[in-house]
Chain A
């Protein structure tokens, strides 16, 4: 498939690299000559160094033959305009990144259909990031977490602790609650594997569990032997992500969080106080130490650093680690800082660019792919798809489908029921599958399900 990406920033680059790996034809349109040159050298792909909001430029990039046009520049309006032009040029799927939540909402409120506007999918990175953080706050003992099938199925990554009795069993005999299985293990030495029934888990392994959302908490506890309860949430940074996260948490119908948000800008604080209904907004001093309120950080159960500045986030996260905060989730823009978090033992850092890129990548897959998640380790992914009526795997037993090693069906959701499949389970058209697969073999999925 021919994919045109307008905008060569972090998201554009990640998308291009991933799609290029999957043998798609990718053309990036980037206005900045320096970035364009860097992309050419680093990714070895076609780059049109020109303004994307120009039909002639888009035609140069082959927009008329494109299967997908993805607009991910820094400017919301430009992204929407590019998608509208691509739609007029006959591109079947158009995707725009829209950062400003007001613009994001307004699209639905304009009274026009998506067809009329010409944008098939709108991705709001700030909202996606806030949702991702919110998931982790709800499930603080997981280092990674994903929901599938409308929340019925969960993937949880947790670290095996010394006092977990599960270390004495192999996977086939492991007394995990019914409705969940271990689909991946990352050993403490860094090796990653899709396990078989004979494998065992060891202390400090990072274990990936998939299964019925109702039993995951218990399953995770059997491996981790710790349950963190988060009530007091402190958010550092009141920009879009902080505000969106506070809104999500304060409107949560199931759990009551006490949310505090620290923002250094006085006017922004006033704005937040006008919008948030339960969150306590604190104004930090307007200097570089504004976010380092030790008193508040020390009493928080969870600290979320979304100041928009990597270095501030790192310092605050490390300070929180020293002060004994149970759950720390840090936003990271530049992945090169990840090693600092790893060194400090902070597992939970989230990158909005990667989250955005992966949300978009779902639309680039063939078949009825409902969700796509890449694990932080970057060498495995989770795909949620619907088994089409006419495909190679439909009607076959799992053991007869001959899936490659490194690919495992975690769960099947059939008629609303969550099933953990075994060899004799027959894959039926309309089944909702959640598949755990190593990135190296994920391309083969299409041959089974398209």
Chain B
């Protein structure tokens, strides 16, 4: 029965992907919409099955991404990204939290809404970077840096919510513990990369063409992601670090080719599951606030992308392209929303869906928007470009 079910789902993926590509709409949206449309028809067991396959897909996506970020490159990015990351927390989490609190959601509810609004969807962003072939641009690097920063902050937020929902408060000790775990995972990965995997370069290059190397690479990915889960951290962070560590063997290109098809076959299940997980059972409460939050959520990411991009060292147009490519919320927001009651989950679900849809479409057209905005900016704020810099 499972085989038939998976076969039908794969066939539906093929159909919607084909038509969305014909219509020049990102196929990723098709999977999410399919999930929303068919989610209620799927039994709990089947949903778990799809979720597991999708989890492998998203993990492989981050593992492959990590393969292209050697340790030194990652350290280089981290030097520039921390300021942008801090701005992201303040604007997207902080201001949203204050807005929700002002609308009377209480501390816990406001914290959940702030958390839902905080992180851009790593999976959607990375997939869109790949699909639009902008993954090797400077703003691509900037976005990856910011997403990794978010993936480091996210588990801290989750632990805060777990502590608060279980005990009604969060102890400083619990927060310190989660921070230590994040640092520990990164530090151990860096050390293993530097002193372990660099020495495996000859071994990997000798046996790169053998089929067991695929098993070796997958083993590394699953082990590090597994350790991250064990430490209550993001598995995506773990998978990414596994890729970073393995990139020290200088075999990224070949490993990428092995794993890419596996990722392509499993990743649509993740987006389908994401769509299916969004619930609207309890109806929409306070639509006014929802509208305000959606607008702020999109605007705040534009500010982070643009201003942060300039801080990071992107060009004016590069910063604008980044600004229009970060609006989509996704998997992390779903995890945070799960801490709320049904009404809050429905509220968050619509927020996530709308920002994901608009975010994906904006991402697709970001170069065009950036071009137009740049021309207008030069007209409205000529002083900004007074030194003659910029096209």
B-binding residues in A (CB < 8 A): 258, 260, 266-267, 270, 273-283, 294-296, 298-299, 323-324
Contacts and interface: CB of A to CB of B under 8 A. Distances in A.
Given A295-B391, A298-B389, A324-B388, 19 more contacts: A258-B313, A260-B138, A266-B136, A267-B253, A270-B70, A270-B252, A273-B73, A273-B76, A274-B73, A275-B72, A276-B72, A276-B76, A277-B75, A278-B76, A280-B76, A281-B73, A295-B318, A296-B315, A324-B389
A177 B166 CA distance: 74
A362 to B, nearest CB: 37
Interface in B362-391: 388-391
B317 interface: yes
Among A267, A279, A298, residue most surrounded by chain B Cβ atoms (within 10 Å): A298
Interface string B175-199: 0000000000000000000000000
Contact of B390 (A267, A273, A274, A299): A299
B367 to A, nearest CB: 11
Contact of B72 (A258, A273, A294, A295): A273
Given A295-B391, A298-B390, A282 B72 contact: no
B318 A260 contact: no
A283 B136 contact: yes
A266 B135 CA distance: 13
B138 A299 contact: no
Interface residues of B, number: 22
A78 to B, nearest CB: 29
Contacts of B137: 282
Contacts of B44: none
A274 B138 contact: no
B210 interface: no
Contacts of B72: 273-277
A299 B315 contact: yes
B316 interface: yes
Interface of B: 68, 70, 72-73, 75-76, 79, 136-138, 141, 252-253, 313, 315-318, 388-391
A299 B390 CA distance: 5
Which 7 pairs of residues, A with B, have the shortest CB-CB distance? A273-B73, A298-B391, A274-B70, A295-B315, A324-B388, A299-B315, A299-B389
21 contacts: A266-B136, A273-B70, A273-B72, A273-B76, A274-B70, A274-B73, A275-B72, A276-B72, A277-B76, A278-B76, A279-B76, A281-B73, A295-B315, A295-B317, A295-B318, A298-B391, A299-B389, A299-B390, A323-B391, A324-B388, A324-B389
Nearest to A326: B388
B376 to A, nearest CB: 17
B327 to A, nearest CB: 23
A277 B253 CA distance: 22
Nearest to B70: A274
Contacts of A277: 72, 75-76
Given A273-B76, A275-B72, A280 B313 contact: yes
A316 to B, nearest CB: 15
Contacts of A276: 72, 76
Contacts of A298: 315, 389-391
B103 to A, nearest CB: 41
A273 B144 CA distance: 15
B31 to A, nearest CB: 30
Nearest to A285: B136
A282 B140 CA distance: 11
A279 B391 CA distance: 23
Given A273-B73, A298-B391, A299-B389, A278 B79 contact: yes
B259 to A, nearest CB: 17
A266 B136 CA distance: 10
Nearest to B75: A277
Contacts of A283: 136
Contacts of A296: 315
B316 A299 contact: yes
Nearest to A258: B313
Contacts of B316: 299
Contacts of B253: 267
Contacts of B388: 324
Contacts of A273: 70, 72-73, 76
B3 to A, nearest CB: 40
Contacts of A270: 68, 70, 252
A47 B118 CA distance: 74
A296 B316 CA distance: 9
B297 to A, nearest CB: 28
A353 to B, nearest CB: 33
Nearest to A282: B138
B279 to A, nearest CB: 42
B249 to A, nearest CB: 12
Nearest to A294: B391
A319 B169 CA distance: 61
B252 A280 contact: no
B107 to A, nearest CB: 41
Contacts of A282: 137-138
A384 to B, nearest CB: 38
B339 to A, nearest CB: 38
A260 B76 CA distance: 12
B353 to A, nearest CB: 34
A192 to B, nearest CB: 34
A277 B75 CA distance: 7
A284 B248 CA distance: 23
Nearest to B74: A273
B140 to A, nearest CB: 10
A232 to B, nearest CB: 8
A303 to B, nearest CB: 12
Contacts of B68: 270
B113 to A, nearest CB: 36
A272 to B, nearest CB: 9
Contacts of B136: 266, 283
A268 B252 CA distance: 13
Among B76, B137, B388, B390, residue most surrounded by chain A Cβ atoms (within 10 Å): B76
A304 B318 CA distance: 21
Contacts of B318: 295
Contacts of B252: 270
Contacts of A280: 76, 138, 141, 313
A271 to B, nearest CB: 9
Contacts of A324: 388-389
B328 to A, nearest CB: 25
A260 B317 contact: no
Nearest to B77: A280
B263 to A, nearest CB: 20
Nearest to B316: A299
Nearest to B138: A282
A294 B138 CA distance: 14
A220 B316 CA distance: 33
Among B73, B252, B313, residue most surrounded by chain A Cβ atoms (within 10 Å): B73
